Structure 1
């Protein structure tokens, strides 16, 4: 039986499956195409997924030998929501922060906080005390759920900001409250009765920007749920485009291995939130280890692996060492950074049962965006793919806001209900990128006649190190605090493992010197370690300038990298 084209399949599903019905929807005076019959908010995804998890009886969550059925996990969410609402008076209008590594309590806390009507504030677990101070002050979050290392870093801020800290696992003894004790003492696991509108705020996620300070991306419930159902729809479309053989066995239950931080959208949205309504199993790793990932994929029959490109490359090497092809994998995707084109065919050969996939999305789009899988990707390894249907619209614009011709370079600009509501407390920055529902992303790309988008550059001065966004001005601000430095310019340096790392050129004050090790020691605790330059070029003359007398970042980068070659 021949399959439909992707466009035909989308039209068929939208027209015939009520779950994916789409209609114009007004949000704050802007009309979007949006799903009409999906759950109205993020907590409602739990109930919507109950049947997909065999009425809650199926195993749902695994961490280091600890297991939860779906019913057990949802009961924990409801108990913690009751605790937050009754013991800490958390409710609509409040913001509650989560600061921890990928523990099961992070997943439960996301849904518990949002079940109260409050907004989840995702905190980067790698941040220093100074960086945590900024995010908590900016967001106004005064209740923080944190693990041990984060409890320690929050210590100096408790009195200053008036924080209440709930300790998770190794943080329980050092915090004022223990998550486990509160959960055990909870009197009820009944669901809260709270009115949560689709356009209420679901979360604040911090994303590095060119201002040097992280920007709080405000995501709504409608944005998150529309992203989730856009991905869920892909599973419905796939067999229509590529029909299985009549005697093919049923598809296995989806099972995802989470290996990227859950304070980023790559893990929270297309893995965790999607798992609720997709009936998927979730496995969390304590810490990334490629050999352990191979073991878990085989032991737990993992079908879905979504990571930054570095991790998929390391998984491939570990699988080769273990002499396995990880035959249960049917999806191997990348997010957070572009995968090297040469790696695509290598992964397809190493994992023949897996559809090798790529995706582009942003915190500002709830991770929804562009992607492709399988032969499409193998044939176009440098491309980002096509726009995910059916609620998004895409334009490539020039600097004046005009559409560019096919094949011409333009800024990726998207309109969808999944776009952020705003940047928290930054109306000017919001106005720069959001206009009449269209989000100007800062990524420059070309599109061909078939709709495939190839990203060529970034307008933003962002370094993407293994999926972590690093603002050049953030690094430069730290370097300028060093007494030896007169001026500094940070830029990306290619790296085989991480894709990009931080490099910097600095003008030193007369009679001083500065090595990479001295710099790292001086900046210890000032910025996160992953932001520290790993290569440093020093000079006693002013840094290269352009025609407007601004530092020529690209020219300086090229000159420094050329010196490295010679």
Structure 2
């Protein structure tokens, strides 16, 4: 690589490997890898660079073209294989291994995957999924990449394709049913790192010194692009957990020497529920937590008990760093759903349902764009095979977020609600329409509407309001049967945690659900105890 500025995540890693060869680049605590390793895993920048270079050459010899799906969990293999493919200008489709078999085909078919790279433990399962589709997509583990043959082999080992080359296809639950594929180019990832390292305030990264721990999945933009690029761009160490383990969380932080964490709102809620310990104060070790969705009632309590600030942020996959907003400076208005003031590089406005700007202090939908000649700088490149949805998202030249926000007196912004049919549970965006479509043919259901109800632990929980067919009884057994089908068709967190039965639901003159009224109705039913609580059955499946 020349002295030119990096133009891809792969080149970012190579640059840091030259500057910080012996610094830790990636660390997996034993608590997060004991199911596949007898000891903790640490790779220096030199070691990670070498592993990526070797994997790149193996992939180059295959002549790979097209997108490669990755089901590699939160393991070192994900970073090695992703960046090796990125070096060749190949985009990846990260897939959550917790998805049920019924959900996976859509990602492979819609994303036009040419291969699925996974762990040995998932190979048989994925081969079965693909055989049922009658597709000819090879399923291989990292050790089997050399067996692939896509045709002609490129002569140049490194050809990342530049800033505009597609880097990843991330799927996000939209308001219209099936997840949309967000096209993310190399510049999207670079801008995440640039944005993070320039934040300052409570989040002032120290080059070569930070150790950032995250339990979030690499199939999401937060872990794949935000925390990863922040560390790799500044020579810090990314501490990647397999997921959030309350029982070993603080032990992992201590033993990994973490200086910062990433969180979602459910994490502080669970940690606050644990018994208090003499060693709860982390003020001398953890500098900040970066996240979103902390319960306002938990925010101050958490900071006082554990000794470090939780810095609330707002972003979405579509906006990347180009429209991200974070409360990294005071006043943060702790306990008021405040996520800070937009930086100068972000243009923003709050509008009513007719897209007219609202008065200061009045709630309105947040719209953002990058200031300057390129309003889409740092944003997604569009939705794959869906130009209509892309145009709708960018209506009037703004990214229309669907999030209702209010501007406080001092110019800070605070979250109010969501205008779209989206349920935000433990940081996961869940489409109400996707749940309704998955259960639409259930023999007991005449009609059903999914909505969000408040949840002390997870922010929102999925509630399903059901009108039954005449021959079915509104019983616990019926509710469980409906949830069981949801768990077969959808990843566990999308299944309804509450089910309530109704004779009728509010509709418009056009006979469409009055979703705002139904949302309030569901909240009332849950509060009064007129709904079946099935949250305890929403658990991760144990995979081999």
Q: Tell me whether the two structures share a fold, i.e. TM-score over 0.5.
A: yes
What residue in structure 2 maps to residue 358 of structure 1?
A: 312
Q: 2:301 is paired with a residue of what secondary structure?
A: helix
Q: CA deviation at 1:328?
A: 0.7
Q: Is the 8 A contact 1:128 1:526 kept in 2?
A: yes
Say whether the 8 Å CA contact 1:83–1:182 is kept in structure 2: no
Q: In the TM superposition, what whole-angstrom CA distance separates every residue of 1:407-459 from its partner, at most 9, and x where no partner exists? A: 23322111131111101100110110124753111112122353311121212
8 Å contact 2:130–2:137 — kept in the other structure? yes
Q: Distance in 1 between matches of 2:204 and 2:380?
A: 31
1:117 to 81, 84, 89: 89
Tell me the TM-score normalised to structure 2 length. Answer: 0.85
One of 92, 103, 120 as aligned partner of 1:131: 103
Deviation by residue 1:107-159 (Cα, 9 ceiling, x = unmatched):
22221111110112122332222221111111101211123564344223434
Q: Which residue of 1 aligns with 2:49?
A: 74
- Alignment of structure 1 residues 469-548 onto 2, 5 Å: 469-513=429-473, 515-539=478-502, 541-548=503-510
Distance 2:527 2:46 in 1: 58
How many Å separate the matches in 2 of 1:331 and 1:532?
Answer: 33
Aligned 1:315-326 pairs, distance under 5 A: 315-318=271-274, 320-321=276-277, 323-326=279-282
- The 2-side partners of 1:84 and 1:45 are apart by 20
Aligned residue number for residue 399 of structure 1:
353
Match of 1:560 among 515, 522, 538: 522
- 1:332 and 1:420 map into 2 onto residues whose CA distance is 25
- In structure 2, the CA distance between the partners of 1:51 and 1:355, relative to structure 1 (3 Å rule), is farther
**Aligned twin of 1:167:** 141
Spell out the pairing of 1:144-543 with structure 2 (5 A cutoff). 144-148=116-120, 150-159=122-131, 160-167=134-141, 178=144, 192-235=157-200, 253-318=209-274, 320-321=276-277, 323-326=279-282, 327-335=284-292, 338-352=293-307, 354-366=308-320, 369-373=324-328, 375-379=330-334, 381-387=336-342, 389-416=343-370, 417-435=377-395, 438-513=398-473, 515-539=478-502, 541-543=503-505
Structure 1 distance, partners of 2:278, 2:114, is: 47
Count of residue correspondences: 496
Give CA-to-partner distance per residue, 1:174-197, whole Å, 9 cap, x none: xxx646x889xxxxxx99331512
Structure-2 separation of matches of 1:210 and 1:455: 19
Measure how far apart 1:557 and its partner are.
Answer: 2.6
Supply the distance in 2 between the matched residues of 1:544 and 1:394 (Cα, whole angstroms): 34
* Higher mean C-alpha displacement, 266-275 vs 283-292: 283-292
The residue number in structure 1 matching 2:16 is 49
Distance of aligned partners of 1:538 and 1:231 in 2 relative to their CA distance in 1, 3 Å threshold: same
Alignment deviations for residues 166-214 of structure 1 (CA, whole Å, 9 cap, x no partner) = 225xxxxxxxx646x889xxxxxx9933151211211110000111100
Secondary structure of the 2:318 match is: helix
Contact kept in structure 2, 1:443 and 1:455, CA below 8 Å: yes
**Matched residues in 1 for 2:246 and 2:486: separation?**
30
Q: Could you say what the CA RMSD is over the residues aligned between the two structures, in angstroms?
A: 2.6
The structure-2 alpha-carbon separation of the partners of 1:102 and 1:251, relative to structure 1 and needing over 3 Å to count, comes to closer
Unaligned stretches of 5+ residues in structure 1: 1-36, 169-176, 184-189, 241-249
Q: Does 1:90 align with 2:44?
A: no
Does the 8 A contact of 1:357 with 1:373 survive in 2? yes
- Distance, in Å, in 2 between the alignment partners of 1:148 and 1:494 is 39
Cα 1:431/1:150, change in 2 over 3 Å: farther
Q: 1:252 to 1:196 in 2, by over 3 A?
A: closer
Q: State the 1:471 CA deviation.
A: 0.5
- After TM superposition, give the deviation of residue 259 of structure 1 in Å: 0.3
Corresponding position of 2:37? none
Q: Kindly indicate whether the alpha-carbon contact (under 8 Å) linking 2:23 and 2:208 is maintained by their aligned counterparts in 1.
A: no
Q: Displacement, 1:95?
A: 1.0
TM-score with structure 1 setting the length: 0.82
- How far, CA to CA, are the matches of 1:317 and 1:76 in structure 2? 41
CA offsets per residue over residues 10-61 of structure 1, 9 Å max, x none?
xxxxxxxxxxxxxxxxxxxxxxxxxxx85222222113323552xx111222
Greater shift in the superposed pair: 450-459 or 316-325 = 316-325
2:515 and 2:122 mapped to 1: Cα distance? 35
Q: Shift of the alpha carbon at 1:281?
A: 0.9
2:486–2:496 contact (8 Å) kept in structure 1:
no
Range moving further from structure 2, 525-534 or 207-216: 525-534
Residue 251 and residue 215 in structure 1: after superposition, are their counterparts in 2 closer, same or farther (change >3 A)?
closer
